[in-house]
Structure 1
Amino acid sequence: MAKALLVSPSYFIFFIFLIFSSATVSIFGEEYSYVKSINPKKMNMLKEKVTHFQLYWQDVTSGSNATSVTVLEEVNNSSTLFGSVSIIDNSLTVGPNLSSKTVGKSQGLYASTGIEETSLLMVMNFAFTDGKYNGSTFTVVGRNNANAKVREMPIIGGSGLFRFARGYVLASTYSFSDNGDGTIEYNCYVIHY
């Protein structure tokens, strides 16, 4: 006569749990298969380097060829222009004159965010159109205290030759005219591969 196998209820529950969890993994496991580790060498991420760019940001707000257009006016005639938003497509030049060689564009926006001081939220891509970096961009997003002699803002990413970019920019006013046009010197320190 065959002996009956006696299994305690706790073993039975554990066994059933094991079967269902295995089935769940096989059914739902594929859902997570889109994530995998990649060898950085396969993405040409061999050695980081730091590149310094000295550029002049040409903010032209006047005339028929304006590259900076205010799309929202300031609130209650604010002396700090609080609430105003400008969209930009400013030239990046190698020298301070507007006629200097253009090597790219600064495209994005700036918004006046200070009630008591002239501070701006800057959101812009530095898009290169010349030389080795043609087609590559890096992105600057940060606070710009316009009254400070030197303003620092972070570089938070990039594309093309600036993939995985990080770093910072130092901005200082080179000139500012009565009609609102300005030339800002940008020293950009970009860490990239």
Structure 2
Amino acid sequence: MTTPYQRIPILLTLSITILLHFAHCHIIDEHNDINLVELELDQKAMKQKMSQFRLYWHDITSGNPPSSLPIVKPVTKTGFGQVNMIDNPLTLGPELSSKTVGKAQGFYGLASQEELGLLMAMNFFFTTGKYNGSSITILGRNAVFDHVREMPVIGGSGLFRWARGYVQARTHDFNLKTGDATVEYTIYVMHY
């Protein structure tokens, strides 16, 4: 027969075991909550949409006011190091007079010393139609003299939340005298 004092270690051990069990269950519950969140995201992934559309990007350096301004001047004769800040119109057709659907806002810089290679960092911000108030973020390399340039879509906002995909850029028109350019962008984007 055990005395009351001998039962204390047994009761203490039992109490600690019960506490650890509940603490372990709590950790498991927190872990299950995390899994439930992941499960909800996986269910949403099944409802993703693929959108494809074409826009025209107008880089106007000669306008009054221009839509593209150099904010860092080049340090070499090749132009390497120049950075332009942009607020370029996005239109449905190649003519600047066609319907404006948004703005390309951001910057591009001459990032290559050997060729005309740009680093493009910009948001295509939509101002009309179904995607009004939404944006797509593009960040990538643009080798200007390549016929087709591909850059990644790294995100978005509004109806383009969680966006990922790519764009293909093709020069539609480039004026050597003014430096103005019109570039066709075909966008392929996965979003919710």
Short-chain TM bin: 0.7 to 0.9
CA distance in 1, matches of 2:43, 2:65: 45
How well do the aligned residues superpose, as a CA RMSD in angstroms? 3.0
What SS class does the counterpart of residue 132 from structure 1 fall into? helix
1:184 aligns with 2:183: yes
Q: Which runs of 5+ in 1 are unaligned?
A: 8-14
Shift of 1:65: 1.7
Deviations 1:125-158 (A, max 9, x none): 0100000100011100000001101100000111
Deviations 1:105-131 (A, max 9, x none): 000000110001010010000100000
Q: Which amino acid is 1:148 matched to?
A: D
TM-score (norm. length: structure 1): 0.79
Q: Which amino acid is 1:175 matched to?
A: D
Q: Which runs of 5+ in 2 are unaligned?
A: none
What SS class does the counterpart of residue 174 from structure 1 fall into? strand
- How many residue pairs end up in the alignment? 176
1:160 aligns with 2:155: no
Q: Which amino acid is 1:149 matched to?
A: H
Name segments (4+ residues, structure 1) moved above 4 Å.
1-5, 32-36
Of 175-184 and 32-41, more deviation after overlay is shown by: 32-41
User: Which residue is 1:90 aligned to?
Assistant: 88
Q: Which amino acid is 1:183 matched to?
A: T
* Richer in helix (by share): 2
TM-score (norm. length: structure 2): 0.80
Q: Which amino acid is 1:155 matched to?
A: V
User: Which residue is 2:64 aligned to?
Assistant: 64
CA distance in 2, matches of 1:2, 1:72: 87
User: Which residue is 2:74 aligned to?
Assistant: 74
Shift of 1:42: 9.1
